[in-house]
Amino acid sequence: MLRSVFLAAAGSSRMERLISSAPVSKGVVRRFVAGAGVDDALRASRELADDGLAISLDYLGEDTLTAEQATATRDQYLTLLGRLSGAGLTPAAEVSVKLSALGQKVDDRMAFGYAQEICAAAAAAGTTVTLDAEDHTTTDSTLEILAELRKDHPGTGAVLQAYLRRTEGDCRELATTGSRVRLCKGAYAEPESVAYQSALDVDKAYVRCLNILMSGDGYPMIATHDPRLIAIAEDRARWFDRSADEFEFQMLYGVRPEEQARLAAAGHTVRVYVPYGDQWYGYLMRRLAERPANVAFFGRALTSK
């Protein structure tokens, strides 16, 4: 119930104006977002790298409606990759890109062209790009663009959402040599026709997808904070004889940092997804939708002012 309220709010421009302008939001945002600019992104990356963690940086923004905005987003990524390389933060840090921020919903060829430029800049900086997964209406286009990008940049990563009924099939397609696949539960409001609705069904689907990826030939990136799924992934790594450099765990900035440290200390690669920029509204609403404790945190911040 709460989940659907926050996911509906994520798409409301009226709520966005209201919440983005509330001074109290700043404190909450700071917990989940590294800051507004490239300097903040670099500072957070340096701190994580010093703690032995890998990084995937996301310049916040989605559902871009104009070519100008899409071009500005591409420019942000090109600047970021140059700065990461200059600061010696590659290959520890890679970037995550939302194709909708590059104008996918306006002109998917433009989004492809910009993504290709970002992949080339990442390669020059000695690192990689992962394409985030967005709502299900974009999945076909995103996976088609991924396949095109991988012709020149085979290390380009995909994100698959376990809640989508189609995803087991997509896992089979992508569990191939050289392919990097981030498996997450999925963060958007999706209809029953395309997505499992109950938490139990999503968890079961996650484990089926995990089995396909861990037994396949690609590089699985296990994106979850769920202790049961993390334990199952560790078990599957042993079962399928995967060494520490043949898969990785991924978590979000500000979520379960002590678990990130524990897994890294146990010898696993742990990559932290670090969002930055001022377009944090949709991202924050999805985090609030995921966890009642995050809402309580938001509520406490509201009432303490």
Q: Is 291 in the site for ligand FDA (CB under 6 A)?
A: yes
Residues 150, 180, 182, 271: which is the catalytic one? 182
182 part of the active site: yes
Residues 121-140 close enough to bind ligand FDA by CB under 6 A: 132-133
DSSP 59-102: E------SHHHHHHHHHHHHHHHHHHHHTT-TTTEEEEE-GGGG
Candidates 44, 159, 209, 288; binder of ligand FDA (CB under 6 A) is 159
Residues 213-252 close enough to bind ligand FDA by CB under 6 A: 223-227, 250-252
Q: Is 286 annotated as a binding residue?
A: yes
DSSP 143-187: HHHHHHHHHH-TT-EEEEETTBTTHHHHHHHH-STT-EEEEE---
Q: Which of 35, 31, 103, 27 is nearest to 68 (CA)?
A: 103
> Which CB sits closer to ligand FDA, 86 or 227?
227
Q: Is 151 annotated as a binding residue?
A: no
Q: Are the CB atoms for 181 and 209 separated by under 8 Å?
A: no
Q: Is 139 annotated as a binding residue?
A: no
**In Å, how far are 267, 268, 281 from 247, measured between CA atoms?**
12, 8, 31
132 part of the active site: yes
Residues 23-62 close enough to bind ligand FDA by CB under 6 A: none
- Min CB(269)–ligand FDA separation in Å: 12
Q: Which of 290, 229, 288, 206 is nearest to 31 (CA)?
A: 288
Residues 108, 132, 135, 170: which is the catalytic one? 132
Residues 163-192 close enough to bind ligand FDA by CB under 6 A: 182, 184-188
- Min CB(251)–ligand FDA separation in Å: 5
Q: Is 287 annotated as a binding residue?
A: yes
Q: Is 46 annotated as a binding residue?
A: no
Instruction: Give the separation between CA 27 and CA 71, rounded to whole angstroms.
Output: 30
The set of residues, in sequence order, having a beta carbon less than 8 Å from that of 172 and lying 6+ positions away, is 212, 216
Residue in the block written with tokens 């104006």:
17
> Which CB sits closer to ligand FDA, 82 or 115?
115
DSSP 46-59: HHHHHTT-EEEEEE
Size of the site for ligand FDA (CB under 6 A): 23
Binding residues for substrate, as ranges, are 98, 286-287
Positions marked catalytic: 132, 182
| Residues making contact with ligand FDA (CB under 6 A) | 132-133, 159, 161, 182, 184-188, 223-227, 250-252, 255-256, 273, 290-291
